[in-house]
């Protein structure tokens, strides 16, 4: 029977008993429904025993041909990645993908078990203990290592997307789940969009960079950490209080060791720079926990990519669901993807030292996505390398305008003022960066640097020591403290700090030269 003769299912909570999707999949019940997707429990009538499967119907909001063509291309392309991910025993296999009368369907393996929101986390009044959390993290981090190795970010890790099977193993489901499109307004008297925000993820489990549309691999680590905090405290993340810094205050509601608390706290750092960068780092720290069996990292699985490949990743179904959900917004959504491509090329050119071409790529990214804060910031960096300090300041200032909670943007602005010899104003910018993220060590370091320029050496030492509290092996901080003590004519203290720096990096010439000056003063 040709596909055009097959009736798609849609718009009813209770399908007819004789209805089959694609002439094959007999719908049993509706499992879940959102504005963009309806999920059915079905039986595969063409296999022996009519085994259960899960069918997801992606529902276009428009029959415009260009919408369907774009959706069809993305649907086929991105389904290939799901097939690949299904090679992991703890990810549901994609059994088929098909199109029937301009409706798109994914057929996935049915996983028996309960999701964690139904099982322990939401239903059980007794929070998990540390042993439960440890095993949970090892299990899910093993899955994420495979996922990230394939350049995929899940983007919606939460209790309801984690199913425990009868053997106790966790299965990760629902890659690329897309939430409602919010903040859509119309210019008065016009039909054009004024603002569009596509939120992918779940509040409480989603980190700030993901809310801003630039997720990293460690955005998944944040979400997993928040899920673990939920499990060990019994409280949803949104129910937990926060410190003035914005970090979650959860430890007084949990019974766990300081070592485990330190791991969870690093997983859920607001700043992605201070968070674990990949799954291997988290697993390595878990391996060091008292009583933990060694070699929990699978030697047959490659480490997940680091931060250098942030943009080289596939985010499953972002394009598909957005296009199928709201046809009118296709240019905005596809434009965001294009902007990321220009940003990536800008990064590559910056690393190669081709700053003019890098700036051109950042300009293209910004022209498509004007609130792309990190593109503004990196454009400023490239302009600074060309000694275009006023341009750098303008770019960095725009970054703070579009993302006032982005510490790196304020740091960028401070560096621009420093280059312009506006030292007092630079100090204010660094203070703002630190106010946004008190563990942003580069902000503390740069504050120390500008305080030395201002002759405020004791304050410079205090600020730079904050760096060492966060990054003890940051040799430049030891050298900077050495320099401040030298200016205070406290040469023995200066020597001690320069020795610390050289113990970390013995061939750093500025430290070696400073040591020579100190030795002359001590003679």
Q: In 271-430, which ranges are E strands?
A: 314-315
In sequence order, what are the residues at sequence separation of 6 or more whose Cβ sits closer than 8 angstroms to the Cβ of residue 449? Answer: 418, 460, 480
Pull the structure tokens for residue 390: 């006023």
- The answer to whether 121 and 72 are in contact (CB under 8 A) is no
504 contacts 473 by C-beta, under 8 angstroms: yes
| C-alpha–C-alpha distance, residues 197 and 153, integer Å | 19
Q: Which residue has the tokens 């950042």?
A: 362
User: Which H helix or E strand runs over 30?
Assistant: strand 25-33
8 Å CB contact between 141 and 103 = no
The catalytic residues are 156
Using CB atoms within 10 Å of the CB of residue 258, give its burial: 0 to 12 exposed, 13 to 18 middle, 19+ buried: exposed
Residue with tokens 């057929």: 107
Residue located via tokens 């028996």: 112
Residue 147: which of 197, 81, 211 has the closest Cα? 81
CA–CA dist 349, 342 (Å, integer): 11
Sign of CA dihedral 248, 251, 255, 259: positive
Q: How many residues does the chain have?
A: 523
Can you state the percent helix, strand and coil of the chain, rounding each to 5? 50, 15, 35
Residue 39 phi/psi, 5-degree rounding, is -115, 125
């Amino acid at each position: 029977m040709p596909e055009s003769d097959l009736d798609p299912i849609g718009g009813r909570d209770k399908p007819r008993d004789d209805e089959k999707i694609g002439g094959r999949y007999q719908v049993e019940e509706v499992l879940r429904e959102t504005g963009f997707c309806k999920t059915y429990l079905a039986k595969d009538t063409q296999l022996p025993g009519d085994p259960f499967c899960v069918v997801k119907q992606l529902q276009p909001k428009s029959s415009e041909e260009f919408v369907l063509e774009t959706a069809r291309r993305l649907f086929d392309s991105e389904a290939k990645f799901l097939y690949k991910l299904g090679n992991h025993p703890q990810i549901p296999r994609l059994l088929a993908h098909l199109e029937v009368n301009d409706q798109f369907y994914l057929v996935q393996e049915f996983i028996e078990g309960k999701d964690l929101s139904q099982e322990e986390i939401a239903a059980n009044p007794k929070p998990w203990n540390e042993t439960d959390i440890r095993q949970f993290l090892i299990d899910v981090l093993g899955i994420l290592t495979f996922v990230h190795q394939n350049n995929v970010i899940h983007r919606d890790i939460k209790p309801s997307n984690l199913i425990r099977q009868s053997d106790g193993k966790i299965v990760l489901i629902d890659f690329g789940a897309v939430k409602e499109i919010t903040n859509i307004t119309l210019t008065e008297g016009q039909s054009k969009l004024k603002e569009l925000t596509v939120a992918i993820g779940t509040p409480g489990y989603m980190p700030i960079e993901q809310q801003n549309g630039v997720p990293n691999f460690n955005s998944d680590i944040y979400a997993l950490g928040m899920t673990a905090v939920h499990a060990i405290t019994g409280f949803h993340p949104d129910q937990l209080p926060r410190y003035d810094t914005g970090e979650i205050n959860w430890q007084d509601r949990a019974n766990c060791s300081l070592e485990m608390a330190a791991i969870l706290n690093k997983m859920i750092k607001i700043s992605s720079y201070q968070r674990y960068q990949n799954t291997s780092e988290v697993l390595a720290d878990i391996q060091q926990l008292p009583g933990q069996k060694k070699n929990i990292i699978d030697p047959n699985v490659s480490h997940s990519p680091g931060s250098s490949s942030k943009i080289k990743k596939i985010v499953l179904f972002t394009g598909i669901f957005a296009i199928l959900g709201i046809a009118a917004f296709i240019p905005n959504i596809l434009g965001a993807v294009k902007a990321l491509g220009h940003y990536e090329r800008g990064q590559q050119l910056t690393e190669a030292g081709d700053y003019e071409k890098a700036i051109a790529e950042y300009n293209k990214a910004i022209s498509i996505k004007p609130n792309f804060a990190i593109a503004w910031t990196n454009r400023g960096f490239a302009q600074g390398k060309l000694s275009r300090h006023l341009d750098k300041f303008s770019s960095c200032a725009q970054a703070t305008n579009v993302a006032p909670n982005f510490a790196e943007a304020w740091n960028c602005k401070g560096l621009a003022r420093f280059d312009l010899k506006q030292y007092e104003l630079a100090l204010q910018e660094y203070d703002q960066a630190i106010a946004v993220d008190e563990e942003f060590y580069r902000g503390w370091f740069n504050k120390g640097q500008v305080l030395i320029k201002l002759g405020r050496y004791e304050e410079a030492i205090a600020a730079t020591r904050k760096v060492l509290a966060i990054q003890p092996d940051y040799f430049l901080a030891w050298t900077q403290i050495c320099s401040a003590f030298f200016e205070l004519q406290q040469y023995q203290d200066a020597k001690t700090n320069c020795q610390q720096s050289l113990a970390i990096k013995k061939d750093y010439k500025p430290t070696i030269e400073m040591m020579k000056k100190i030795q002359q003063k001590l003679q």
